[in-house]
Amino acid sequence: MTYRASEVAETIIDLSRKRTISDLTNLKLQKLLYYCQVWHLALHDAPLFSDDVEAWIHGPAVPRVFGIFKEYRWSVIERPVISLEDAGVVRHVNEVLDSYGKYGATELERLTHSEEPWIQARRGLSPDEPSRNVIPKDHMKLFYRNLMVHA
């Protein structure tokens, strides 16, 4: 089943709180949401959520989710959330948090900036140029699947 990115984002927030990941800002949420999507594509050959991911200045972002949590700016997201109850999604998000939750927003931003899907989507743009370019799901899937094969 494919969910909305906002549902996955709320699951990330809920599970992060349960794991005492205390630095979950909108910037960090965007990167964790991205990694949930790319690894779901690579592992399951299907998107976790239907929304597009765009190649923004500070890395991959889902505009609708960014807008929902925009009021928090650089602060920790504190609003109440409702987590998905799909055990497979919860397991997947926890696996992403195992790998990426320990990193701060800036470290995750640097990581995404070094990876081919974001680089390709921003090709020809200056580092500080705004973009609404979509990072194609097939690029995400191929890049991260290739990382699995060579790990």
Query: Any alpha helices (H) in 5-136, and if so which ranges?
Result: 5-18, 26-44, 63-68, 87-100, 105-113, 116-121
pLDDT per residue as tens digits for the range 4-41: 999 999 999 999 999 999 999 999 999 999 999 999 99
- Output the six-digit token pair for 147: 């990382």
Q: Which 8-state DSSP code applies to residue 3?
A: B
The pLDDT tens digits of the residues spanning 46-87 come to 999 999 999 999 999 999 999 999 999 899 999 999 999 999
∠ CA 84-26-66, nearest 5°, is 80
The reply to whether the predicted model has a pTM over 0.75 is yes
Residue with token string 């089943």: 1
Residue with tokens 């991959």: 60
